[in-house]
Every structure is written in structure tokens, then in C-alpha cells.
């Protein structure tokens, strides 16, 4: 059964390159990103893990833990890690789950048989501190993900968790945001003291409130 936004992220215990992880306990009060890779020693995955490792400080700033997965063993991941460091210029700096028995892959519906019946697709799950799934993404094996986009959506999720706003197309941190239509103009005046522009009654924009 597919995992939907708002669901509690399924808990699991798994072996990783950083030891045994009890997922919910490991997340603690942090945000989390669980993302799968089709296979070890494959080119696109190698570039992705290098790029996520390079960006780790950005995820730390956002109180967000990263955890990867592929259906190979932890022993295989450890061998692959040196290739990642050599070719990408960044050492793997977050845990990678060894999921040879597909326990986590099945729990998160990461194997899509019409794409490949044994390998995981490139799934991304962003999980909030309440353990609820805030975002899901699914990419095919042939397309590497974009770290900046994942940071961008994380910024939006964290902003909109704290303020009654939403973020418009192509928004990045620092851009104007949209006031939730449910808020009256009167309320908006107090909630958004920097002011707002009314383009339409349903489209009111205001400077990002936490900047």
C-alpha cells in the first residue's frame, strides 16, 4: 500500500553503514529524509550520494537527518563508500541502510515492479518531527535527483509548518509568500506586520515572515 502524505512514516529496525538504526528513535525530534537508490556501484547513485554528503551541513542547519537505502548489503555499501569518496570528493557522512531482504523497501513501497521487479526506484520521503510524511517523490533509475530542490521543498515545509502561508511557483527561501486564503484581511494585518499586497482577494503576497 502506497504511503500517503500525512501518514505516520512506518517504523523499522535496520542495519546501516553506521550500525543498527531503530528509525523513529533515530529520528528523535528531527526532520528526516529517507531516500532509496536502485543499486550499489551504479553511476547515478554514486553522484547522488556524493552530492548529498557535500550538502550535509545544509541539512544539519535545517535540523534534518539523512538516511539512504539500497537493496545491497551493508558490506557492499562499505566497499562502495570508498568509490563515492574517490570519485565525488566527499565521504559518505550519513547512514545507508542495507536492505537485501527488502524489508524497508516493501514497507515504503520502493520497488515498482513495472520499472524493475527487484531494484528500488529513487524514492524520497520527507518526514516531520511528528513522524508524519510531509512529501514523497519518485524518480526513475535513469534520473538523478536535485539536492537544491530537496532543500527548497524542506524550507517550504518548515516555513509553512510555522506560519499560515504557502509558497508560490519556483519559490526559494527569502522570496515573498502567499497568505492562506482562510485568513481575513483583518487577521492578516496583525499576523503579517510587514504588510501584504492583494493581487486578487484569494492571492495576497507578503514578505517571508521569518526573515
Query: What value does the CA radius of gyration of the chain take, rounded to a whole number of Å?
Result: 19
Instruction: Let me know if 45 is a catalytic residue.
Output: yes
- The reply to whether 38 sits near ligand BEZ by the rule CB under 6 A is yes
CA distance 115 to 84: 25
Half-sphere exposure of 128 (CA within 13 A, CB side): 18
Calpha distance 92→51 (Å, rounded): 9
**Does 68 help bind ligand BEZ (rule: CB under 6 A)?**
no
Burial of 137 (0-12, 13-18, 19+ CB in 10 A): middle
The catalytic position among 44, 45, 110, 151 is 45
Interaction between residue 141 and ligand BEZ (CB under 6 A): yes
The answer to the question of residue 50 lying near ligand BEZ (CB under 6 A) is no
Which span sits near ligand BEZ by CB under 6 A: 18-26, 40-48, 71-79, 159-167? 40-48
From 13-21, 36-44, 52-60, 173-181, span contacting ligand BEZ (CB under 6 A): 36-44
CB 124 within 8 A of CB 150: yes
Residue 128 contacts ligand BEZ per CB under 6 A: no
205 makes contact with ligand BEZ (CB under 6 A):
no
Question: Could you list the residues that contact ligand BEZ (CB under 6 A)?
Answer: 38-39, 42-45, 141-142
Amino acid at each position: 500500500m502506497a504511503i500517503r502524505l500525512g501518514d505516520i512514516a512506518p517504523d523499522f529496525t535496520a542495519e546501516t553503514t553506521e550500525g543498527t538504526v531503530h528509525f523513529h528513535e533515530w529520528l528523535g525530534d528531527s526532520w528526516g529524509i529517507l531516500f532509496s537508490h536502485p543499486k550499489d556501484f551504479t553511476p547515478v547513485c554514486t553522484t547522488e550520494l556524493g552530492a548529498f554528503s557535500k550538502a550535509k551541513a545544509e541539512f544539519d542547519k535545517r535540523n534534518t537527518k539523512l538516511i539512504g537505502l539500497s537493496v545491497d548489503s551493508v558490506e557492499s555499501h562499505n566497499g562502495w563508500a570508498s568509490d563515492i569518496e574517490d570519485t565525488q570528493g566527499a565521504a559518505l557522512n550519513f547512514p545507508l541502510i542495507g536492505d537485501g531482504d527488502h524489508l524497508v523497501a516493501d514497507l515504503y513501497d520502493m520497488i515498482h515492479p513495472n520499472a524493475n521487479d527487484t531494484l528500488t526506484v529513487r524514492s524520497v520521503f520527507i518526514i516531520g518531527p511528528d513522524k508524519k510524511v510531509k512529501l514523497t517523490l519518485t524518480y526513475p533509475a535513469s534520473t538523478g535527483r536535485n539536492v537544491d530542490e530537496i532543500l527548497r521543498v524542506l524550507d517550504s515545509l518548515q516555513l509553512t509548518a510555522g506560519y499560515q502561508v504557502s509558497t508560490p511557483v519556483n519559490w526559494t527561501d527569502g522570496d515573498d509568500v502567499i497568505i492562506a486564503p482562510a485568513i481575513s484581511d483583518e487577521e492578516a494585518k496583525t499576523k503579517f506586520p510587514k504588510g501584504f499586497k492583494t493581487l486578487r482577494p484569494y492571492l495576497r503576497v507578503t514578505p517571508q515572515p521569518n526573515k
